[in-house]
Amino acid sequence: MTSRSPRLAARALIVHDDRVLLVNAFPNGKSDLWCAPGGGVERGQSIPDNLMREVHEETGLTITVGALVLVNEFHDPKSGFHQVELFFRCGLVGGTVDHRWTDPAGVVTDRQFFSRAGLNTIRYKPDSLPRVVFEWDGCTSYDPLERLVM
């Protein structure tokens, strides 16, 4: 296994009408796992700019980036993949969730708002998602390193 630096990613916690927007980023039904929209940070662009771009690509929505809420880490011991994700509270500025929207990268296959009760009906990551979305106390949390799941 080669030693690689962790990949940095940014994710948006977009809450509207007491529901959080999640995406399924597994083409061809590879997994039923849902996560917050966002993705890898590209060099030479700020983290908020990266996040606004990623959210627009994946959902068609325009957002503002607010407070850092959560730092989450996950890894795959077999491949050596390790990702550090920064979750930000974000505001919805424009657009609506349209299930016909096509992610130009072809990664996100579905997008949907979920209530807290609705989260009990799906698989999602990170595990602390309901707490940081629906019980946020204004402080940034840290989720310790967990194994990659699909």
pLDDT digits (tens, 9 = 90+) for 52-102: 999 999 999 999 999 999 999 998 888 888 999 999 999 999 988 887 778
The answer, as to whether pTM is greater than 0.85, is: yes
Tell whether the model's pLDDT for residue 27 goes beyond 80: no
Go through the domains of the chain in sequence order and give each one's CATH number.
Answer: 7-136 (3.90.79.10)
Name the β-bridge partners of 23. 35, 111
- Helix, strand or coil, per DSSP, at residue 137: coil
Q: How confident is the model at residue 147 (pLDDT cuts 50, 70, 90)?
A: confident
Mean pLDDT of the 1-25 span: 89
| Phi/psi-derived region of residue 92, left when phi > 0, alpha when psi is between -120 and 50, beta in every other case | beta
Mean pLDDT of the 27-43 span: 87
> Phi then psi for 115, rounded to 5 degrees?
-80, 170
Tell whether the model's pLDDT for residue 29 goes beyond 70: no
H or E element, residue 8: strand 7-16
**pLDDT tens digits along 106-123:** 788 889 999 999 999 999
- Distance of alpha carbon 148 from alpha carbon 138, whole angstroms: 27
pLDDT of residue 3: 59
Q: How confident is the model at residue 1 (pLDDT cuts 50, 70, 90)?
A: very low
